Structure 1
Amino acid sequence: MRINVFEGARRIALLLALLATVTALIVAGTNKPYLSLNYSVSRPDAPFIRTDDPCPMEAARDYFPKKSQDGNSVGINLCLLTMPFGKDHQQLVPYKIDQSGMLWGAATYSNEVSVYKHDLESRFRFPASDASWVDEEISGRYWKNWLHSLGFIAVGLGVFWALVWAIGWIVRGFAGIPLGNDHRPSDT
């Protein structure tokens, strides 16, 4: 019984291509897109404003995850803006409005601001204008990831096929086997 090395190599190549394709499809299907949004708040009674501007150096920053309407996880980069307080106009984070309407401020890394950050995290809700947009954006990114993954699979399989073909062509050339055959014509 003769062993057909070329048939064995074709089967191995097919199994490798199938394994790579299934792995890529599983990774593409389970890879959820990540969305991170920047918001700022200027005082305790002010709304959360989505922004593309960088957070100023003197401002306090907080990062926390929130779930969208469809249950997608979104990273929130919250910038707590400062304002001038006192006679020396020291830049402080406004963190509390008392009963008389007076605004209280504290340094960026103070305990008061840390408590205020946790309070902001618990009461954060996506503004109405952003709520549906967030899920649409994540859905769009998800399908874009799928298209990219399918493109990579197609290119990867094409390169793999070319490599297998080239190796077969080289081996057949050294062995004196015509292209399209698995044995030399005199061996049959």
Structure 2
Amino acid sequence: MKLRTTVAALLLTAVVPVAAACGTNAEAASTSTSTSTSTSTSTSDTGTGSPGGGRGGGPGAVDVSSVTTEEQLVALVQEAYGDAGLDLHRGHQPVQDVLDEVLTISHDELHVRMDAGQNLAAVAEDLGVDPQTLVDALVESWSPAIDELLAAGTITEDEAERYRAALEEAFTFRVTWDGEEATPTFSGLDA
């Protein structure tokens, strides 16, 4: 029994980082049905106002429709930069639908290319897609959060445009990231 628990723990140590890079949660990655471990993976961070949950689950997953405050919008823009700890992958699950649509390659092929050292811009260029097209599609996919706050009167039209510009800057960074540059911190429009 102890050997089985040890093996299960070792497997989780190997599977969880890979699953996190793809944005899947540890429970989905684990196929164990009879062993009981108390490993928990949170798919959202509601305590900090982060817009987690939603599209595909997993660490850092974003549900654009859940953004109801300016604080959550700030977190959304920060999330658009991606997670440098995941190397070139930067946690692409929250944007996987857009990547599939614009790049038109399989998730596995994307991994092969990124593991070979290509960032999203290089992948797009190899496929004959202008990287700006990818950035524009990513911004468009997350802009409804800005539109909702504008419609609710939470932010002004000027602020909405500035948030769109911040979102474009963040996604441009994510798409063109060289693997070296530190991820900027977005603290809001006045910061």
Is the TM value for this pair above 0.5? no
Q: Normalising by structure 2, report the TM-score.
A: 0.23
Q: Normalising by structure 1, report the TM-score.
A: 0.23
Q: In proportion to residue count, which structure has more strand?
A: 1
